[in-house]
Amino acid sequence: MPTRQIGWNVGEIAFAVMYVLVAVQALVLGYAFTRRYLAWRSGRPYGPIDRVGERLRQALSVAFLHKRLIRPGYVYAGVMHLFIFYGFIFLFIGTLIVLLEADIVRPFFNASFYYGTFYVIYKLVINFFGLIFIIGLLMAIYRRYFQHLPKFRRNLSDDAIVLGILLFLGLTGFLLEALRLSATRDANAPIHWVAYPLTLLLNGVDPGTLTATHAVVWWSHMLANTALLVYIPASKLAHIFTGPTNVFMRAVDSRVALPLIANIEEQEHFGVDKLTDFNWKQLVNFDACMRCGRCLDFCPTFNTGKALKPRQLIVEVGAYMNRQAGLLAGPAGPRIDEAGVTGHELVAAEEPSLATVPNVEELIGPVVSEDELWDCTTCRACMEQCPVRIEHVPLIVEMRRNLVLEQSRFPQELVMLFNNLERNANPYSFPASTRADWAAELNQGVRELSSVEDPSTLEVVYWVGCMSSFDARNQRVATALTKIFNAAAVKFAILGKEESCSGDPARRAGNEYLYQILAQTNIDRLNAYSPKRIVANCPHCFNTLKNEYPQLGGNFEVVHHSEFINELIASGRLKVPHSILENPKMAYHDPCYLGRYNEVYDAPRSVMDSAAGGYVELPRCRERGFCCGAGGARAFMEEKRGTRIAHNRLNEAVATDASGVAVGCPFCVTMFEDGVRALNVEERFAVKDIAEIVAELL
């Protein structure tokens, strides 16, 4: 870091130039971030901002404790970033201390604090943090350019510029210290324990040469520092400020529902096709990206060769927003990488330069492709892994809403889905009147709520869902759960013909209008019966009823069937004899809408422990679990690009010593059943819902 503690006069003009540079740094930073803030505020209103204290706590924990950076699987990257961050912070503070001593305390107060114990501690600390700063940078260079991670491109990029300048600052800082110590023959040289060995090598050099070299290195260091600070607003280093801001702005409750289009009948515009269609909190997301690529590590589309790569989508729109804000705008042109393929085709896409982002008004098409939007399974793996809490899924759904409700541009398969939901209140072609036929055929006295004289006597209402009502394979899950209810003497009933699709596939596909019709119908019917509790075996229905219906006035206590079964076993109401299954045991797969959306991880595992004597934990599990590929209405669309997501997950499960995979979601059952047939492993690898595993033992 810059220092004037040396035994020669640099000159008043030189220091005037230095402070002009400092002023330039401050002005450029202030101007650039003001432009960035104004770009955010060009979005729709957002607020009010509640729970400020909790938001601030989360932002500070991310910024200073690296709470979301140092996580299992990312210890190297987390420590690397910690070294760089705290090294930079302490070196910056150290520079301010030197300037305070030399240019304020001494000239204006004729005093000094830069001696004695303080001086010794200061130098020991600065040397330590300077060293870990350089170590962190070398770790970053190794990770970025030598580990050959598929999510990083290793060409000259923003990372090379940033890492190069930072490393130059770190190395020249120690060189400056060594030159000063050698030129002045400072008796305290040994306490500068990192620079001291270099000092010994320089002791034989002519003092005049040392002085001249010091001046050159000092100004090189100062100019590099100026370049860095001026470059920050246009580089990935902007995340130092925008990342914590995004964490502060995000919803405190991680399970918050998708944004509601209020008074939808009165709206003239739907979703997002321009930057100004986003609210200003959503626009902060596009400036917060660290380019770390963690969203890619567990993204089902990136890992199966599809168009959508969450990091690329965020930085594409971020670069477009920077152009619109007038930050380093250049000539427009197609986004082509060095290999000649478009940005949407890159396997490990890096951020586009501002000069290659089209200068257009529309967002969908020129900036974000429709393929990217429709590939998303809404599994939230990207959101769970993002260190700065970027909320990719709501942003994607907002753009889907525009395509569906305003432009009528969506995959052909969704035409049938929407038509069936409108006509039959289910995604299939089955008449709504046949929804409860499975229960009648079961002949186990399953009652519909309309036939129950006093619904208040019921313990639970079983929300069957469309797949368990109409899909033959998943009807076996409904049958198994009914058997469990009867074995535990649970008084229950179903809505039957009065039940409609929860609306999840419509909402995730962008058809908010259809979702609200379905949801309001269900809410009105449920409110008429005032259920004490609702049990759902579909995590998508579970999530919608629990977290999204309250937006429309539907406030119900909803539990997933794994939670309810676990309660029955724990209370002793359900006696489950231990399975005599031969090893290997079943592997357990975390459904995205049960795990990441609702943090239900332990209940199904407890059921597996009780019923199956244990389970096999997959390498990608819990919050890092891998999607089956069915969410976001993808279950009703053909998977035409890359390899199948379900096959990727199944290959992982088959590679273990498990005899099959246990799930808690009808979509997962369907996707994996298709997968085991395609992979020709159905004879040795079973797919079962946890309710089926328990019911088999009763």
Label each residue of 43-63 as H, E or C. Answer: CECCCCCCCHHHHHHHHHHHH
* Residue for token pair 């998708």: 258
Confidence of residue 339 (pLDDT cuts 50, 70, 90): very low
Residue type, 369: S
Mean per-residue pLDDT, 215-223: 90
In angstroms, the CA 31 to CA 665 distance is 51
* pTM listed for this prediction: 0.89
Higher pLDDT, 218 or 560: 560
pLDDT per residue as tens digits for the range 28-38: 888 888 888 99
Give the model confidence (pLDDT) of 80-111 as tens digits: 999 999 999 999 898 888 888 877 778 778 88
Calculate mean pLDDT across residues 468-489: 97
Residue found under tokens 């370049």: 227
Range in 93-97, 284-288, 552-556, 599-603 with the lowest mean pLDDT: 93-97
Q: What is the token pair recorded at 397?
A: 């759904």
| 339 or 435, which is more confident | 435
Query: What's the rounded Cα separation, in Å, for the pair 598 and 433?
Result: 32
pLDDT value at position 68? Answer: 86
Q: Which positions ≥6 away from 191 have C-beta within 8 Å? A: 120, 123, 124
The angle subtended at Cα 303 by Cα 297 and Cα 305, nearest 5°, is: 140
Q: Which residue has the tokens 């910056």?
A: 92
* HSE of 660, CA atoms in CB hemisphere, 13 A: 21
Cα separation of the two ends of the chain: 72
Q: Which 3 state secondary structure label does DSSP give 30?
A: helix
Amino acid 184: pLDDT: 84
Query: Could you check whether the bond before residue 48 is cis, i.e. omega within 30 degrees of 0?
Result: yes
Q: Are 616 and 586 in contact (CB under 8 A)?
A: yes
